[in-house]
Amino acid sequence: MQGAAEEEEEGEGDVVKPGEPDDSSEEEEEDADEERRIREGFIVDEDEDDEDDEEERKRRKRRKKHHRRRREEEEDLEEDDLDLLEENTGGTFKKSRLKRLVRRGASESPPTASSSKRRAVVESSDEDLDDDPLPKVQDIQQIWDDQRDEFDDDADGDIDDFIEYDDEEEGGMPMDERAREERRKERRRQQQEFRRKSRGAHPELAGIDANAWAEIHDVFGDGHEYDWALVADEEAEYEQETQKDMTLQNVFEPSEIREHLLTEDDNLIRARDTPERMQLTTSSLSEAASISLHQTIIAENLNKDGARWVTLRLSPEKQKEFFSANGAYQHLQGELVMAVTFALRAMFVEEYEVPFIWTHRRDYISHFDVNDTRSPRLELLSLPELWRIYALGQKYRSLVERRNALSASYRRLGVTDTYYTDEIFPAIDSVELVADTSEWLLMKYKDKKENVVAFRFHDDDEAEIEKKHKMPSRISAYELAKKSIVSRLADGFGIASHEVVLNFVNETRLHYVDNQNLDPFIYAEQFADPDPAKALAPEELLRRARMIIATELGKDPLLRDHMRQLFKKNAVVSVSPTERGRAKIDEQHVYYPFKYLYNKPIENMLGSSQFLYILKAEQELLVTVSINLPPDIKANFERRLIDAFSSDLLRESTKAWNEERSRVVQEVMEQHLIPAAVKWTREFLREEEEDYVANRCGDQLRKRIDVSPYYNPQNSPMKLGDTPSVLAVSWGKGDPQKDAICVVLMDDGGRMREWIKIDNLVDTETRDEFVDIIRRRKPDVIIVGGFTTATAKLCQRVKEIVSGRSSYDSNSTFGDSFDIPVIYVPDELARIYHHSPRSKLEFSSLPPNARYCVGLARYAQSPLNEYAAVGSDITALSFDDDDQHLVPKDKLLVALEQALVDIVNKVGVDINRTVTDRYYQYLLPFVCGFGPRKARELVSKIDGLGGSLVNRNQFIKSGILTTKIFLNAAGFLRITQEQDDMKVKHRIDDEQAPDPLDDTRIHPEDYELARKMATDALELDEEDIHDEHPSHVVGLIMQDRENDKKLSELNLDEFAVSLFNANQELKRHTLNVIRDELLKPFSEQRSPFPPIDGWNVLTMLSGETQKTLRIGLIVSVLVFRTRPDSVHVRLDSGLEGIIKQEYLVDDTPGAEKPVKGKTIQGVIIDVRLDHENDIYEVELSSRWSDVVENDTEFRRKQPDVYWNRAQHEKDLDILARKQRAEVTKTRRIIKHPNFHNFNTSQAEQYLDGQQRGDVVIRPSSKGIDHLAVTWKVDDKLYQHIDITEKGYDPTGQSVDTQFVVDASHTYIDLDELIVRHVNAMSRRVEDLMAHDRFKPGSEDELHLFLKNQLLANPAKSMYGFTLNRKRPGHFNLCFLANKDSTVQTWPVRVTPEAYYLFEAPAVGVPELCDAFKVR
């Protein structure tokens, strides 16, 4: 501060003390320029300091405005004080509104005590003061007023340059220098005028000279000594207020806020004392999850009809067992309803989640006869049924809300409709009925509804309706007819529409028809317009009258609901292919089973996914779907409706009227009831089958995660449920040239301790390194994984090293042996993990293959934890290979989340571990009551309290959990206890004492029961444990060596009966849970880790499944090794196979044995899976007699039982006739699937949409003994091959026909020609196109590429391949020797056997490259 004061003194000049001579007039003139520069420096201080920092300038401007507002507020307060002084003294007080200046670069330093006013006074000379007469001072309080008589206009101007005015910038807009100068002049003029008026009003101020001013300032100061502190306070307050106003929306993008769950809805979900999943509209895993706006169901609605509504829809099995006459549990149907009532009340009133009810309230959903304890206890509801009740409860809640909204709408209409109140509303039990009723009310009381909306008072809450855009009004034909005289004609039918429905529903004549005496046509003529030009014919009038009645009947909610129930029970589904579908859906197509589906009952479709496939095929325009009622059901409904509408009189006119009524019924059926029912049935089937597939996926996930960590029974220190230490090994894709072997060690705490990368396990050095990590770390299990079948060889090698013996030579040893199992585990999670952002965040320094090993190890340590960590990406995993893609993602997430919630709560979560272990923390959102938001907040709160909890009481006493969340979650959040803690005695009032019950599944509400059981088992009295901690006795029974015997001697049945008699509490199952937990707290209840079978390993390594390797299928294989007795081949998936000698070729003369490098066709005859020895191979036959038979029969899909054979045969006959008609136009008849009667352009157009390598055989223009083969080389590039048919017989009876391509290529039939010639060339073309030296595009583009590459690498020669567009099927090899040479082009010819560079053959692409380099 001293330095700042010194700088300030240097900036403002030396201050002349009072009494000292002042001779500074010359210095003033000499320093004028200096003062001007200083003045300019002051003025431009804040703008010039950081002129390049726009944000800093904006911040200062905001701060400046904030200071201005603060000063104005303070000045307003000071003005009140000045007014009070004026009243007391009679004087006038005004306050200067000049701003304090801040020195450049030292804005935080305190200002000097001298103001510009004082400086001007002090610098005046004594001579100047003596010239003017001194006015008399009347009031000493006026001395602080400024005596401006002493200064002239120029002095004012100098001071003005130092002044920063409040309104320097008007409207927030910057002012240029010219505008500022004009503003200064105007203010100077106003101030001078103000001073003149002030002198006239206060002449006493003129009597104070400069010396007096100096003495006053020296004694009292000028009031500005502490401005620097005030400035600091103002800036701090400004920053604080700015931070208060700052929100996340000001800093982050909305997408980031949503991603981190920090929106307003997320905060509301966190704050509400309701389980998070119950606050969401869909799964908490879904990215589209939003807060639910549903209202809470009151218990009265649940007890009234909610339980009955849910129970009747629970499942067909429950209906059969409890509600049928011969049901096994028909006598317990009342208890079932009570159990459902309790479950609904617990879920939707008390807000308990399903696992809580299943674990801690199971006694209330079970049957236990307190009067006969010997009778077995029966669980009335299962865990899946509880989830079903929760889903149905949500639907019932929506129904209640819509029903209440419907009642409110009806009340607003202000009408009285007994049919609605007595018949319709009591029958509403579905949202469809609510929708139908709303539509019916709108139709019937549309005018009333318009009036209700139109007439509103000015203070109504819904006045903002006026802001909505006006929708175009639509008046239906029904409304027009209803408002015309035709409505009176409709009344002539003698009965109202709702009366017809009541007759129909009750199946009796509650209302009779009022018959007309006149014939309908004669009666209709009475309502014709008197004007002949406007008059309508009686037929048209009757048609409109029928339309009115048909519309009213068709919109009737009860009639619609009756039709829906008919469709639900009796509807049948039929499918017929479209013209496009007939051609595309062949016998191997997935849609073939229902291509001609006919009248299949919908009840037979509910347990499958067939209708979802039908809808998908319909969406692809391949089939049309029809849903109908069986004719007898439809006829019965129509007859009943006619009977309810007709009259029994036998008059001719009555008969004619009944005919009109029959036409009405037909119109109702065809135009209203059936279309609406069909639409509903489609949605009903879709919903049911989606739920079926989703639940099946959830069950599959439940099987995968309801397993314990890997457990080796031979490892004595381990016990079921312990986490093993894992050594994971992977070779990646198994390429020795590119991929190294990664080895990762994960300890039993789930932490990665070590990882190494070695080239192979063959060399002694690398093998010893691998053995060393096994010897040092001693893992419990070794896991092998990879992406290709080369992993099987790696697994063999690892087993050899671990066992110390070679599998090929039992006498050779490697040294030490280890008793460690070597296994495979499913790697689908590891495949997702090793490229995920989560893996890069956790192990950024590891390569992908090592992160893949981490995923394998984690799966072995905890499949549940690994699946929970996947999050919303869990839908990318396959749980149902065939049908999973048919289910919407949100619905699938709900089913998968339910499985995760069940198992996580079954296992429990160590709450203290979640704070320190971020990976383990992924389990917490699936605990009852929690979700991603509440789980994150819980961890944050515990971390803020020190990072750990001692007992469950802290959840409430420390304000960590709200009441409902605590009740839901407490029994599943374990606080692990050390054995020593149980031995230590704690005071009864010690709130920080650990409780052994907190490390059990026992809920805190049942702690007293547990303590009572422990006390009784130990045969202690209350006096024995009076001064001890309440749970001390629990620790004693847990450590007692005979606790099992002592607890088993307790009569829990009698205890349960006494609890029921005393408090009406059902605790029989709870007592069993308490006993089990006292014996083995949080014991492992999951199944042991299952071993993986051979087929799963084969699928994991190759992608092949039992479907793709079915016996009888024909596959393409590449010969890679030949032996005298066999040929070894490789499938496209990398799986190896063998063709034994007897299956190589037929016993025919001239049959050649396959050679190495050749691709052949083979029939699968066996699949060999030796999981123990890591042998996975297929056995094939390449005999022509086996291959030629084709595998169509094996690939053929079986048609559905409900198959329209007549239509199928009819379509086949039509297709055959079309084919015969086409054949008659050609010169040839060849029975081959690839033969088409095409010319060249037609063949190319046909192949344009096909894959590369597809073939068309067609007639040739060169003669009847020629054929043309066209195959697709690339897009818009086709090769045409001329085939000569040697030995051609026009009758088609010849068996010695040969197909000659050229002198060296002759084939016995077309199949051999396609396989051995065209397909072989196609594969060679594909191989060369896959090479990194191949460049797509034209030859000129390749030339340019080579030149650019040479410029980048002048010391190298460049070459590349491209397709020869002039000779399809062949290539051009272009090369550039050096920068001074030109691009050379050599032709590369492709044949089935090899590539030819000029005349030099090359069997493969590497050989072709070598041949070029040698040449």
Tens of pLDDT, residues 394-411: 999 999 999 999 999 999
| Cα dihedral value 1140, 1145, 1149, 1155, nearest 10 | -90
Please state which of the ranges 453-462, 905-914, 948-957, 1093-1102 shows the lowest mean pLDDT: 453-462
Report residue 886 CA to chain centroid gap: 16
| Mean pLDDT value of segment 793-811 | 80
Question: pLDDT class for 135, splitting at 50, 70, 90?
Answer: very low
How far apart CA 1060 and CA 667 sit, in angstroms, is 62
Lowest-confidence segment of 40-49, 1235-1244, 1267-1276 by average pLDDT: 40-49
Quote the pLDDT of residue 208. 57
- Residue 69, pLDDT score: 59
- pLDDT number for residue 165: 44
pLDDT > 90 fraction of the chain, expressed in percent and rounded: 48
Question: What element of type H or E holds 1122?
Answer: strand 1114-1123
In this predicted structure, the answer to whether residue 590 has a pLDDT above a threshold of 90 is yes
- pLDDT-derived band at 896, boundaries 50, 70, 90: very high
Q: Tell me the β-bridge partners of 1114.
A: 1163
Res 219: pLDDT: 62
Average pLDDT over residues 258-287: 89
Is residue 370's pLDDT more than 90?
no
Supply the pLDDT for residue 59.
60
Q: How far is CA 381 from the centre of its chain?
A: 31
How far is residue 524's CA from residue 44's CA, in Å, rounded to a whole number?
A: 97
Q: How far is CA 1033 from CA 34, 68, 570, 1083, 1256, in A?
A: 91, 71, 64, 20, 87
Q: How far apart are CA 792 and CA 551, in angstroms?
A: 71
Which one is predicted more confidently, 1224 or 991? 991
What's the pLDDT tens digit per position in 1308-1322? 888 888 998 999 999
pLDDT, residue 72, reads 55
pLDDT in tens, 819-852: 899 999 999 999 999 999 999 999 999 999 999 9
Report which secondary-structure segment, H or E, holds 1405: helix 1405-1414
Q: Has residue 905 got a pLDDT over 90?
A: yes
Q: Mean pLDDT over residues 503-532, rounded?
A: 89
More confidently predicted of 890 and 1369:
890
Which range among 38-47, 366-375, 386-395 has the greatest average pLDDT? Answer: 386-395
Measured N-to-C along each axis, helices 1032-1039 and 1007-1017 cross at an angle, to the nearest 10 degrees, of 50
Which H or E run contains 564? Answer: helix 557-570
DSSP calls for 818-834: ----EE----HHHHHHT
pLDDT the model gives residue 247: 73
Q: What is the pLDDT of residues 556-581, one digit of tens each?
A: 999 999 999 999 999 999 999 999 99
Confidence of residue 12 (pLDDT cuts 50, 70, 90): very low
Question: Is the pLDDT confidence value at 1217 over 80?
Answer: no
pLDDT band at 689 (very low <50, low <70, confident <90, very high): very high
- Most confident segment among 121-125, 535-539, 805-809: 535-539
User: Residue 1409 above 80 pLDDT?
Assistant: yes
Task: Say if residue 202's pLDDT is above 80.
Answer: no
β-bridge mates for residue 1298, sequence order: 1286
CA distances from 280 to 872, 911, 1319 (A): 15, 24, 56
Which one has a higher pLDDT value, 886 or 1383?
886
Look at residue 1241 in the predicted model and tell me its pLDDT: 86
Q: What is the pLDDT of residues 604-613, one digit of tens each?
A: 999 899 999 9
* Mean pLDDT calculated for residue range 934-944: 94
Provide mean pLDDT across the span 883-912. 95
* Mean pLDDT (whole number) for 233-244: 62
Letter for the amino acid at 784?
V
| DSSP code at position 23 | -
The per-residue pLDDT for 130 is 42
How far apart (Å, rounded) are the C-alpha atoms in residues 175 and 733? 70
Instruction: Name which residue leads in pLDDT, 894 or 105.
Output: 894
Q: Which residue has the higher pLDDT, 733 or 92?
A: 733
Name the residue among 575, 573, 686 with its Cα closest to residue 623.
575
CA atoms within 13 A on the CB side of 1343: 9
Supply φ then ψ for residue 872, to 5 degrees. -70, -15
